[in-house]
Amino acid sequence: MATRISDLIDFLHQVAPGYLQEDYDNAGLIIGDSLRQITGVLVTLDSTEEVVDEAVRLGCNLIIAHHPIVFRGLKRINGNNYIERTVIKAIKHDVAIFAIHTNLDKVFTSGVNTKIAEKIGLTQLEILQPVPGQDHNGSRTGAGMTGYLNTPMDTYDFFGYLKQCMELQVIRHTEVCRPRVHKVAVCGGSGSFLLQDAIRSQADIYITADFKYHEFFDADRRIIIADIGHYESEKFTIELLYHLIINNFSNFAAHYTKVNTNPVKFY
């Protein structure tokens, strides 16, 4: 039996309901007809022109992305920037684009931060900033996560371990005010808003992205901030979504994108 786009969306919304997304977010089906049958799915962190081209080559008529390609209102669609060009190309080739963003960030089971914790090998996981009164799939929902290493590590050894686990080129960090790392706080993507929560949790280190220069001072020797980059912190979300799809649907092909959509380059 063929699977419609709406069937896959319904499943993904069982994992991370749309109502959990932040007010500023634009997750959901952004381009395409939900009643169309799926010919193939391409999973990516970002939707770009190159990713749409890849979907067309693979015979995929649905892109599942973490970040919404349309985040703010579009007044014109004339190809003036990469967002408009991506939208035009997707519509031209009849490729639907669905985004599952801050709602996936906020779930405990099969969420973005759980995937990071899994990669680092953390146990005793808890939501860092729970949403009051909300429970989903038997677990609380909210922003960020804390957990423990099985064995405390020397901080510099942990930096090397983190680079290996998360496949990093560089870590921007504050003063090493903790000689050892045991309790770890994480938040995929832009996580400076959770710094005080991470400090209150008594974590030794807070792993996230997009800290500004002056925000690093706010660690104030109470925690180590490790800024690993936005793309780097969330890239394993592709793996998370891919496995959710292939483990629950068998009548269409699913693919990882081979396009590195990280706009930040290192020299």
Instruction: DSSP for 67-131, please give it.
Output: S-S--S--S--SSSSHHHHHHHHHHHTT-EEEE--HHHHT-STT-HHHHHHHHHT-EEEEEEEEE
pLDDT of residue 25: 96
Torsion of CA 218, 227, 154, 240, to 10 degrees: 130
What's the DSSP call for residue 38? P
With a CB cutoff of 8 Å and minimum separation 6, the contacts of 214 are none
Low-confidence stretches of the chain (pLDDT beneath 70): 134-139
Angle at 89 between CA 87 and CA 94, to 5 degrees: 95
Structural domains of the chain ordered from first start: 5-104 (3.40.1390.30), 106-233 (3.40.1390.30)
Helix, strand or coil, per DSSP, at residue 180: strand
Which residue's structure tokens are 């380059």? Answer: 265
Helix, strand or coil, per DSSP, at residue 158: helix
* Separation between Cα atoms, residue 258 and residue 147, nearest integer Å: 31
| Global confidence as pTM | 0.95
pLDDT of residue 73: 82
Strands 123-136 and 139-154: antiparallel
Structure tokens at 236: 């394993």
Q: How many residues does the chain have?
A: 267
CB half-sphere exposure, 156, CA atoms < 13 A: 0
Residues pairing with 129 in the sheet: 143
pLDDT of residue 44: 98
Comparing CA positions, the residue from 123, 119, 149 lying closest to residue 228 is 119
pLDDT of residue 72: 83
pLDDT of residue 137: 63
